[in-house]
Amino acid sequence: MTDPSPARADAEESTGQRFVAGVLRSVLRVTLGATFRADLPVEKQRSRLRRVTRLTLPPRSAKFEASISDGIHGERVTARGHERAALTVLYLHGGGYCVGSPATHRAITGHLAARCGARVFVPDYRLAPEHAFPAAVDDAVAAYRGMLANRVEPGDVVIGGDSAGGGLALAAALRLRELALPLPRALVLFSPWVDLSLEQLPPAPAGELMLTLPWIRQCARAYVARADARHPLVSPVYADLAGLPPTLIQVGTDEILLGDSRRLRDRLQSAGVTVNYQEYPRRWHVFQANAGVLADADRALGAVARFIRAVEPTPAG
């Protein structure tokens, strides 16, 4: 299904929000556009991203602590009043499989913890080029196993992620299915990157603020390495998707990965998976990171909370 309720018509957007969106566009174009560059060494990309994302606004009620799940180091995120919540989100950060960390995505994970009333675990999964496929998938699956070992019911777990992390969330669910492990309650995917073959990647639209084809190609090469780019755990859009849990996809219309989201929606629907698909007009890649400032980001994360509440927990065992 497509849920149009969170999105707003441009005519209905307030003057204040148009101003906020314009300022954010300018800032993101300068900061992240200068970070995700194919001609910049990956270590510099990582350090720049760390500096830039310190400017984002996690909610004051959120608490961030170092944590470990089945040997996978990461960050536990809780919100005041929900420290013992049953609902747990395994969140996989984006960054083209090459950059990013739990710390760079606190604006998203903190707001998810607060809005969903959930505990969130963000694994610091291994990155390319040092660690190519399947390292990230193995780490995500290990983190999920660790949750189950700590008596978290699979029906209380949601796996989510943005960009490469969205593709990784889908790949992790596919790997869990292969291993005959219980699947999570739902998947939540923000602008998922699900085709690293790049065979159907269009030119960047005029509204794209941060991602370029050269940088995307560089990240794909680093992560895929000697694997097949169409391997279903590398590019889940080519996988048999039958039997996956209900899935929410959110994407902006001004981003290069819009086509990936639309193709994934169609493939999931053809496989009989329940899909809630949401496009946000004139919004950029992973705009949810601007929660607390941008009204559409707040609406999107509110839609996540409603989606999760509406999904019936999967039965134990």
Tokens for 313?
A: 């927990």
Q: Is 255 a catalytic residue?
A: yes
Catalytic residue among 82, 93, 105, 285: 285
Please, which residues have CB within 8 angstroms of residue 211's CB and are 6 or more apart in sequence? 36, 204, 255, 256, 257, 285
Catalytic residue among 101, 163, 191, 235: 163
Cα angle, residue 289 at apex, residues 288 and 290 outer, rounded to 5°: 85
Q: What is the CATH number of domain 10-310?
A: 3.40.50.1820
145 CB-side CA count, 13 A: 16
C-alpha dihedral sign at 8, 9, 15, 19: positive
* pLDDT value of position 28: 93
53 CB-side CA count, 13 A: 26
Sheet holding 88-92, edge to edge: 62-69, 72-79, 119-123, 88-92, 157-162, 186-190, 247-252, 275-280
Distance CA 194, CA 165 (A): 10
* pLDDT value of position 312: 77
Closest CA to 105 of 122, 126, 85: 122
Per-residue confidence band for 159, with pLDDT thresholds at 50, 70 and 90 = very high
What residue spans of the chain are helical by DSSP H? 15-31, 42-53, 106-116, 135-149, 164-178, 213-224, 258-270, 295-310
Q: Which residues of 91-113 are buried (b: 16+ CB within 10 A; e: fewer)?
A: bbbbbbbbbbbbbbbbbbbbbbb
Distance CA 238, CA 225 (A): 18
Catalytic residue among 111, 255, 261, 279: 255
Distance CA 235, CA 239 (A): 8
Q: pTM of this prediction?
A: 0.95
* pLDDT value of position 14: 86
Q: Is 130 a catalytic residue?
A: no
Q: Is 69 a catalytic residue?
A: no
Cα angle, residue 108 at apex, residues 103 and 114 outer, rounded to 5°: 110
Distance CA 150, CA 266 (A): 36
Burial class (CB in 10 A: 0-12, 13-18, 19+), 169: buried
| pLDDT tens-place string over residues 186-242 | 999 999 999 999 999 998 898 999 999 999 999 999 999 999 999 999 999 999 999
| pLDDT tens-place string over residues 129-149 | 999 999 999 999 999 999 999
Distance CA 88, CA 135 (A): 23
What average pLDDT does the structure give for the chain?
94
What residue spans of 84-154 are helical by DSSP H? 106-116, 135-149
Please, which residues have CB within 8 angstroms of residue 27's CB and are 6 or more apart in sequence? none
Q: 40 pLDDT exceeds 90?
A: yes
- For the chain, domain boundaries: 10-310
